[in-house]
Amino acid sequence: MQVSNPVLIGGVPLDAFFAFLLALIGFLFLGNLAYMLLRQALDGRVSPGTAKWAAATLQYTVMVGGVYTSARYLLDFDPKAVAASLGILGIIVAVSSTQITQNILAGILITINRPVQLEEWIVVGEMPTTGLCKVRDISFTTTILQGLDGGLVLMPNSSIIASKVVNYSRNGLLEIRVALSVPVSADLARVREIALAVAHDDPRIIRTPGTAGRSAVHGLFDLPYNKRLRSDRPDLIGLEPAVHTVSVSDGWVKLMVRAWIRKIPQKDEIASHYLREVLKRLSAEGIPVKAETS
């Protein structure tokens, strides 16, 4: 009776080859599970960045250790067989979704250039934008943002790279604008005086911003790309609350109050409180006013 020779791939039997692929997929799953569990255990106990990198280290340790163990015991650590297995798996992934590959490459670029980092407040996109969001997590393929309404926005990393990103945390400042319309007969000098007084009385509104400070330790880990952005940034000293005349129409003068804050997530609360105080003081002096915030 003739005995058929086993099918070989890279010098390894076909059944061992497929067993290695299954083990590889299993260890990828276990790595992701380890990442999730460690992140949950560390969140709230250490800084978000430390939690992320500790979990990522465990994730890659599980994956690399699993691949090595599988290759050693299933493929006898044959370099040709390992290369053939990984090559075929890579072709399957590439053919199934080129978007995954694009997002992984974009994730690598985000890690290198660091246009956004964990816990930063950003706005992504042209129109419509994501709105003001905090960066909650950055993975290989996805960046997770959390909006002021509490909702989570899952952005493909390729969208972060390709879209306009406004990063407010790097400067540590956010502008608020309040439009006031008063009759042309009103005392504009007094209106400006009241508007500025309310801004100066609120400790959350900055009178002289200066330059957002960063510790020397943070500076040691900055890439030349980020240092160049900050060195090219104009001096922020002198950005105090200001009142500008915008237009005159139908007997009303429109004024724009501009101010800057550091407590970025409290933008709406601060603007609302400021508006209430301005209306209260103007009403006390008998000055009619129409107002809006932006």
Residue 11: predicted pLDDT: 57
- Ordered domains of the chain (ranges, CATH): 8-96 (no CATH), 113-167 (2.30.30.60), 174-293 (3.30.70.100)
Rounded-to-integer distance, Cα 145 and Cα 143, Å: 7
Q: What angle do CA 146, 166, 243 make, to 5 degrees?
A: 110
Residues recorded for the chain? 294
Hunting for tokens 């100066």 — which residue is that? 200
Residue 257: predicted pLDDT: 93
* pLDDT, tens digit, 9 for 90 and up, residues 123-155: 888 767 788 899 988 877 888 899 888 888 888
Higher pLDDT residue, 59 or 201?
201
Residue 55: predicted pLDDT: 81
Residue 213: predicted pLDDT: 44
Tokens of 294: 């932006």
Rounded-to-integer distance, Cα 94 and Cα 117, Å: 28
Residue 256: predicted pLDDT: 93
Residue 22: predicted pLDDT: 85
pTM of the full predicted structure? 0.60
Q: Which of 112-126, 209-223, 238-252 shows the lowest mean pLDDT across its residues?
A: 209-223
Q: At what angle do helices 267-284 and 188-201 cross, to 10 degrees?
A: 140
Alpha-carbon distance values, 275 to 128, 172, 184, 196 (Å): 27, 23, 20, 12
For residue 60, give every residue at least 6 positions away whose Cβ sits within 8 Å of its Cβ, in sequence order, or none.
31
Rounded-to-integer distance, Cα 66 and Cα 60, Å: 10
Rounded-to-integer distance, Cα 195 and Cα 197, Å: 6
pLDDT category, 113, cuts 50, 70, 90? confident
Chain-centre distance for alpha carbon 274: 28
Higher pLDDT residue, 216 or 259?
259
Higher pLDDT residue, 237 or 242?
242
Residue 216: predicted pLDDT: 43
Residue 69, pLDDT > 70, answer yes
pLDDT category, 292, cuts 50, 70, 90? confident
